[in-house]
């Protein structure tokens, strides 16, 4: 028994158990449902790996995960939507001018910052610069926004994207998240750990606020739906000869015992079901490639001299600093890398959903849940973090039907029409938040290193 | 030159939409930020569950208010919730003390780093949030009764003869009065009483305080009592003024943190000032000044646009921009708090 819990066997055992759980859902509920959970499990695992790079490797408490996820999602829209040429012609010029002015303002403020001594004069100069820039930029920006948003407001009203295959957004999402993370990191890293948490939490709220309100960018709360898919559509598949033949030959045994009419009807059902499973499997394949790549790269990095340095910084900042390691720069690097991974996962999520809805980004779901994944899975261990992504997402989905079933059981003896019973059954879905909190507290208390803990490395000299 | 009446109208307009709302919102934030700052200085961590503790206490107050209303008990022209408030506070105190004993104490004895406390407090946040949603539901609840207005805009117009109206809600006056009482009592307690002095000593230097024979368990115990009382009061006042919704209370965490840090975390007076700074900047920056300037400017210079710096949707962003700026140029806040 002791051997079973040994470090070496934990990861394979944990993942095998996870596989069994998903199979149980497939057989007990339905296969498309199990695959839907699996796909989101993979995306969650990638997010969790991103946060693990920041927290597990370097001990950075980033509570802005939601913001970077949303940036990745925005990239999916910007890549795949067709450009709205009319909007560009009426407002593009104003937007470009405002953008150039913003860049000029930033350059000017850096110049002022570098060339003036830290004093009240510098603060006043900078404040005046910003106030002046605000009014000048607004002069170009506001009319442009109004013009863009009035182009077919019901269906477009934004600048559109690049009209490229959505899969490129996985790259752009990573790059955009990395870029924003660089700016955010420049500002907030170096703050004490819990200030960093509060600041990143706030910045992620600002990112969501911008996405909700800047309609010219990605339509704001009007959402963007019907994004191009990287995989075939179910309806197209159902009319494709090779797919119909494949299903027919797969189930030829079962179909041959039926009469012709029954057989045709049964085949039709199988094709409809099969197309849904096939599409989900395509996503699973694509996501698995990304997951394996991220997992492989992060394991490589963690075991390299770079990873050793990061752990040294995490475990004792002063000592690492004294050894000549630039702690702030390494923190920035790791913050950017981790955020890029989260951005990639965010783009994948929107690709899977086929729509971008800024209001769906809520801190409980996109920041704190991801944290739970890392901590429960095992911070500092890539396999652990990935497993946490699978396990917690599975729990998050299955906790709802389970708590409803539990409530039904508890209230069985009560009168069907009683108010208390109705209230309890109706409120059951909130139980999953409770379960998540409880899991976090229990893990922190009794298993602070997670289900698959970080390896204790003992190097002989 | 604008006429005298126009200047008066502009002042009334400004008071109605900026001054009065910002003062009452600021008072609510100040009470919340005081709780954050006390937990920070005595228990030494940023409590992410504070917004949900507010929600929990307020939920108790609402439930008791409903109970009173169904029994036919009312508080005259004042809201019944004020009668229920002491009971809600007692419940919130019991809840906080139980949480401390079952969750935080373990890490305190182990002397865990602040990061661990932050993570643990997010766990508490999840659970409290779930309990509140489970009991009272995730939707909006209004529980204000009694007299709603001290005077309405129309009454003000008739009384003064100005063309702009000014409304003064009773909840706004209540908020400011109760905040004044609570803050005065708290400062008296911290400065003048033996226990208060012990708490300040503990906050300044824990080891020295322990050497002087201060009982740390007692200090922690008193802190949770004060924090739960402040949180419930702040939550109830906010709920009376606007409405109660668990998610809104969770989101209040952000401006409360901003207020505590801007004022100087660990400094009670800073938390109060920070609350007003955040509230005023949120309201001032998102108010549309068009009408205000129409009163003051000659017709030729009247503004054509709304004259609004940021749309109201950026309210939360405003508090955070201030937070980030303060963290950058003066990490210790306005009143030097604890920075390390």
Residue range A346-352: mean pLDDT, rounded: 96
Q: Which residue of B has its CA nearest to A375?
A: B119
Q: Note whether A139 and A181 are same-domain residues.
A: no
| Angstroms from A440 CA to nearest CA on chain B | 6
Looking at residue B86, what is its pLDDT?
Answer: 96
Cα separation, A68 vs A70, whole angstroms: 5
Q: Tell me the three state secondary structure of residue A189.
A: strand
| Angstroms from A192 CA to nearest CA on chain B | 7
User: Per the CB < 8 Å rule, is B134 touching A202?
Assistant: no
Looking at residue B119, what is its pLDDT?
Answer: 92
User: Per the CB < 8 Å rule, is A441 touching B328?
Assistant: no
Q: Note whether A137 and A183 are same-domain residues.
A: no
User: Per the CB < 8 Å rule, is B114 touching A193?
Assistant: yes
Determine, yes or no, domain membership for A343. yes
Q: Note whether A38 and A91 are same-domain residues.
A: no
User: Per the CB < 8 Å rule, is B313 touching A427?
Assistant: no
Determine, yes or no, domain membership for A122. yes
CATH number at residue B159: 1.10.3470
Residue range A288-301: mean pLDDT, rounded: 95
Task: Indicate whether B335 pLDDT > 90.
Answer: no
Task: Indicate whether A1 pLDDT > 50.
Answer: no
User: Per the CB < 8 Å rule, is A431 touching B130?
Assistant: yes
Of the partner residues B311, B317, B329, the one whose CB lies closest to the CB of residue A206: B317
Q: Which residue of B has its CA nearest to A436?
A: B126
pLDDT 10s digits, B5-57: 888 888 888 888 899 999 999 999 999 999 999 999 999 899 999 999 999 99
Of the residues A135, A159, A183, the one at which a domain ends: A159
- Provide the CA B193 distance to its chain's centre, in angstroms: 25
Q: Note whether A117 and A138 are same-domain residues.
A: yes
Most A-contacting residue of B113, B126, B306 (CB-CB within 10 A), to test interface: B126
User: Per the CB < 8 Å rule, is B257 touching A198?
Assistant: yes
pLDDT 10s digits, A407-417: 888 877 777 77
Of the partner residues B46, B130, B320, the one whose CB lies closest to the CB of residue A194: B46
Q: Note whether A144 and A66 are same-domain residues.
A: no
Confidence band for B1, pLDDT divided at 50, 70 and 90: low
CA separation (Å) from A338 to A131, A200, A326, A429, B78? 34, 14, 18, 32, 53
| A335 contacts A57 by C-beta, under 8 angstroms | no
Looking at residue A414, what is its pLDDT?
Answer: 77
Is the Cα dihedral B86, B89, B93, B99 positive or negative? Answer: positive
Q: Which residue has the tokens 């009240």?
A: A120
Looking at residue A388, what is its pLDDT?
Answer: 96
Determine, yes or no, domain membership for A268. no
| Angstroms from A222 CA to nearest CA on chain B | 15
Residue range B97-126: mean pLDDT, rounded: 94
Determine, yes or no, domain membership for B335. no
User: Per the CB < 8 Å rule, is A142 touching B331?
Assistant: no
Q: Note whether A74 and A136 are same-domain residues.
A: no
Higher-confidence residue: B127 or B337?
A: B127
Q: Is A127 exposed, middle or buried (0-12, 13-18, 19+ CB in 10 A)?
A: exposed
Task: Indicate whether A378 pLDDT > 50.
Answer: yes
Determine, yes or no, domain membership for B96. yes
Chain B hits for A191, CB-CB cut-off 8 Å, are 327, 331
Q: What one-character-per-residue DSSP string does A122-137 give? A: HHHHHHHHHHHHHHHH
Q: Which residue has the tokens 């790549």?
A: A293
Q: Which residue of A has its CA nearest to B131?
A: A434
Looking at residue A240, what is its pLDDT?
Answer: 86
Q: Note whether A320 and A199 are same-domain residues.
A: yes
Task: Indicate whether B322 pLDDT > 70.
Answer: yes
Chain A hits for B115, CB-CB cut-off 8 Å, are 59, 61, 193-194, 197
The count of structural domains within chain B is 1
Q: Tell me the three state secondary structure of residue A112.
A: helix
CATH number at residue A191: 1.10.3470
Full residue range of the structural domain in which residue B90 is found: 4-329
Determine, yes or no, domain membership for B339. no
pLDDT above 70 as % of chain A = 97
Q: Note whether A150 and A45 are same-domain residues.
A: no
Determine, yes or no, domain membership for A92. yes
Average pLDDT, chain B: 89
Looking at residue B338, what is its pLDDT?
Answer: 60
Looking at residue B7, what is its pLDDT?
Answer: 85
| Angstroms from A81 CA to nearest CA on chain B | 26
Of the partner residues A61, A195, A436, the one whose CB lies closest to the CB of residue B126: A436
User: Per the CB < 8 Å rule, is B317 touching A209?
Assistant: yes
User: Per the CB < 8 Å rule, is A209 touching B327?
Assistant: no
User: Per the CB < 8 Å rule, is A194 touching B137?
Assistant: no
Chain B hits for A444, CB-CB cut-off 8 Å, are 116, 119-120, 123
CA separation (Å) from A358 to A77, A82, A205, B5? 12, 20, 11, 46
Q: Note whether A199 and A312 are same-domain residues.
A: yes
Our CA angle for A401, A431, B135, nearest 5°, is 130
Looking at residue A4, what is its pLDDT?
Answer: 47
Of the partner residues B122, B309, B327, the one whose CB lies closest to the CB of residue A371: B122
Determine, yes or no, domain membership for A286. no
Determine, yes or no, domain membership for B311. yes
Determine, yes or no, domain membership for A191. yes
Residues of A near B (Cβ–Cβ under 8 Å) read 59, 61, 123, 134, 142, 187-188, 191-195, 197-199, 201-203, 205-206, 209-210, 212-213, 364, 368, 371, 375, 426-427, 430-434, 436-438, 440-441, 444-445, 448
Q: Note whether A361 and A419 are same-domain residues.
A: yes
Cα separation, A176 vs A153, whole angstroms: 27
Q: Tell me the three state secondary structure of residue A355.
A: coil
The count of structural domains within chain A is 2
Looking at residue B176, what is its pLDDT?
Answer: 94
The 3-class SS string of chain B reads CCCHHHHHHHHHHHHHHHHHHHHHHHHHHHHHHHHHHHHHHHHCCCCCCHHHHHHHHHHHHHHHHHHHHHHCCCECCECCHHHHHHHHHHHHHHHHHHHHHHHHHHHHHHCCCHHHHHHHHHHHHHHHHHHHHHHHCCCCECCCCCCCEEECHHHHHHHHCCCCCCCEEHHHHHHHHHHHHHHHHHHHHHHHCHHHHHHHHHHHCHHHHHHCCCCHHHHHHHHHHHHHHHHHHHHHHHHHHCCECHHHHHHHHHHHHHHHHHHCCCCHHHHHHHHHHHHHHHHHHHCCCHHHHHHHCCHHHCCCCCCCCCCHHHHHHHHHHHHHHHHHHCCCCCCCCCCC
Chain B hits for A440, CB-CB cut-off 8 Å, are 119-120, 122-123, 126
Chain A hits for B106, CB-CB cut-off 8 Å, are 445
Chain B hits for A445, CB-CB cut-off 8 Å, are 106
Q: Which residue of B has its CA nearest to A441?
A: B123
Q: Note whether A95 and A216 are same-domain residues.
A: no
Number of A:B CB contacts under 8 A? 127
Q: Which residue of B has its CA nearest to A220?
A: B313
Confidence band for A3, pLDDT divided at 50, 70 and 90: very low
Chain A hits for B316, CB-CB cut-off 8 Å, are 202, 205-206, 209
Higher-confidence residue: A338 or A254?
A: A338
Most A-contacting residue of B128, B248, B317 (CB-CB within 10 A), to test interface: B317
Task: Indicate whether A459 pLDDT > 60.
Answer: no
Confidence band for A258, pLDDT divided at 50, 70 and 90: confident
| Angstroms from B187 CA to nearest CA on chain A | 26
Residue range A56-84: mean pLDDT, rounded: 93
User: Per the CB < 8 Å rule, is B134 touching A123?
Assistant: no
Q: Which residue of A has its CA nearest to B257?
A: A198
The tokens describing B274, both together, are 């920070």
The tokens describing B82, both together, are 């004020």
Looking at residue A146, what is its pLDDT?
Answer: 87
CA-closest candidate to residue A38, choices A55, A17, A23:
A23
Q: Note whether A99 and A209 are same-domain residues.
A: no
The tokens describing A97, both together, are 């001018």
Chain B hits for A187, CB-CB cut-off 8 Å, are 324, 328
Chain A hits for B36, CB-CB cut-off 8 Å, are none
Higher-confidence residue: A361 or B154?
A: A361
Determine, yes or no, domain membership for A238. no
User: Per the CB < 8 Å rule, is B120 touching A203?
Assistant: no
Confidence band for A267, pLDDT divided at 50, 70 and 90: confident
Average pLDDT, chain A: 89
Looking at residue A10, what is its pLDDT?
Answer: 87
Determine, yes or no, domain membership for A275. no
Q: Which residue of A has its CA nearest to B125?
A: A437
Most A-contacting residue of B250, B324, B325 (CB-CB within 10 A), to test interface: B324
| A397 contacts A41 by C-beta, under 8 angstroms | no
| Angstroms from B92 CA to nearest CA on chain A | 18
Cα separation, A150 vs B185, whole angstroms: 56
pLDDT 10s digits, A99-133: 999 999 999 999 998 888 878 888 899 889 998 99
**First and final CA of chain A: distance in angstroms?**
33
| Angstroms from B318 CA to nearest CA on chain A | 9
Looking at residue B66, what is its pLDDT?
Answer: 93
Determine, yes or no, domain membership for B69. yes
Full residue range of the structural domain in which residue A401 is found: 30-82+167-230+305-446
Who contacts A26 (Cβ-Cβ below 8 Å, separation ≥6)? A33, A34, A35
Chain A hits for B329, CB-CB cut-off 8 Å, are 123
């Amino acid at each position: 028994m002791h051997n079973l819990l040994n470090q070496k066997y934990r990861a394979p055992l944990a993942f095998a158990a996870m596989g069994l759980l998903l199979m149980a859902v497939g057989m007990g509920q339905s296969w498309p449902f199990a695959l839907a959970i699996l796909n989101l499990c993979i995306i969650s695992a990638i997010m969790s790996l991103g946060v693990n790079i920041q927290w597990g490797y370097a001990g950075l408490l980033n509570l802005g995960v939601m913001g970077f996820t949303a940036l990745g999602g925005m990239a999916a829209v910007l890549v795949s939507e067709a450009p709205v040429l009319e909007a560009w012609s009426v407002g593009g010029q104003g937007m470009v001018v405002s953008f150039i002015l913003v860049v000029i303002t930033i350059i000017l403020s850096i110049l002022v910052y570098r060339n003036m001594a830290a004093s009240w004069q510098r603060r006043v100069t900078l404040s005046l610069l910003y106030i002046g820039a605000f009014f000048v930029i607004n002069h170009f920006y506001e009319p442009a926004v109004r013009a863009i948003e009035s182009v077919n407001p019901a269906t477009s009203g934004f600048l559109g994207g690049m009209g490229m295959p959505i899969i490129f957004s996985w790259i752009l999402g990573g790059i955009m998240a990395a870029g924003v993370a660089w700016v955010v990191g420049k500002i907030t890293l170096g703050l004490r750990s819990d200030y960093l948490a509060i600041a990143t939490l706030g910045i992620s709220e600002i990112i969501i606020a911008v996405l909700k309100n800047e309609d010219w960018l990605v339509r704001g709360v009007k959402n963007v739906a019907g994004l191009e898919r990287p995989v075939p559509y179910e309806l197209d598949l159902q009319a494709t000869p090779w797919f119909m033949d494949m299903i027919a030959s797969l189930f030829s045994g079962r179909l041959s015992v039926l009469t012709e009419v029954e057989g045709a009807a049964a085949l039709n059902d199988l094709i409809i079901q099969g197309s849904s499973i096939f599409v989900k499997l395509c996503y699973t394949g694509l996501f698995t490639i990304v997951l394996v790549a991220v997992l492989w790269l992060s394991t490589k990095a963690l075991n390299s001299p770079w990873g050793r340095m990061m752990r040294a910084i995490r475990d004792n900042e002063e000592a690492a600093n004294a050894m000549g390691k630039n702690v702030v720069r390494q923190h920035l690097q790791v913050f950017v890398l981790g955020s890029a991974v989260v951005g990639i996962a965010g783009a994948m999520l929107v690709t899977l959903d086929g729509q971008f809805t800024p209001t769906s980004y809520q801190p409980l779901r996109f920041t704190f849940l991801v944290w739970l994944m890392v901590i429960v899975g095992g911070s500092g261990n890539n396999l652990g973090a990935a497993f946490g992504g699978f396990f917690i997402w599975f729990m998050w989905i299955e906790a709802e039907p389970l708590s409803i079933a539990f409530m039904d059981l508890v209230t069985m003896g009560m009168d069907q029409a009683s108010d208390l019973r109705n209230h309890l059954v109706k409120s059951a879905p909130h139980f999953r938040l409770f379960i998540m909190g409880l899991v976090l507290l229990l893990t922190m208390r009794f298993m602070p290193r997670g289900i698959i803990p970080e390896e204790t490395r003992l190097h002989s000299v | 030159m604008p006429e005298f009446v126009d200047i008066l109208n502009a002042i009334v307009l400004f008071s109605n939409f900026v001054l009065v709302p910002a003062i009452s919102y600021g008072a609510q934030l100040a009470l919340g930020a005081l709780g954050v700052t006390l937990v920070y200085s005595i228990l030494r961590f940023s409590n992410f569950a504070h917004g949900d503790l507010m929600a929990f206490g307020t939920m108790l107050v609402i439930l008791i208010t409903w109970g009173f209303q169904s029994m036919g008990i009312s508080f005259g022209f004042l809201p019944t919730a004020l009668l229920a408030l002491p009971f809600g506070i007692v419940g919130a105190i019991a809840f906080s003390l139980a949480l401390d004993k079952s969750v935080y104490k373990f890490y305190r004895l182990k002397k865990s780093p602040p990061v661990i406390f932050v993570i643990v407090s997010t766990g508490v946040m999840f659970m409290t949030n779930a309990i509140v949603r489970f009991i009272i539901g995730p939707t909006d609840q209004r529980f204000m009764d009694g007299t709603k207005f001290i005077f309405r805009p129309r009454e003000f117009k008739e009384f003064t003869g100005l063309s702009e109206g000014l409304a003064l809600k009773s909840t706004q006056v209540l908020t400011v009065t109760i905040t004044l009482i609570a803050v005065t009592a708290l400062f008296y307690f911290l400065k003048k009483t033996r226990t208060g002095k012990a708490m300040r000593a503990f906050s300044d230097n824990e080891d020295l305080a322990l050497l002087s024979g201060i009982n740390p368990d007692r200090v922690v115990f008193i802190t949770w009592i004060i924090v739960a009382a402040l949180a419930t009061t702040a939550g109830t006042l906010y709920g009376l003024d606007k409405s109660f919704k668990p998610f809104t209370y969770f989101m209040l965490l952000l401006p409360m943190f901003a207020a505590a840090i801007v004022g100087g975390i660990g400094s009670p007076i800073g938390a109060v000032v920070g609350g007003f700074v955040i509230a005023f900047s949120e309201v001032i920056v998102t108010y549309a000044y068009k009408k205000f300037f129409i009163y003051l400017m000659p017709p030729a210079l009247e503004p054509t646009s709304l004259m609004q710096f940021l749309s109201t949707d950026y309210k939360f962003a405003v508090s955070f921009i201030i937070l980030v700026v303060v963290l950058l140029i003066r990490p210790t806040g306005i009143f030097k708090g604890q920075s390390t």
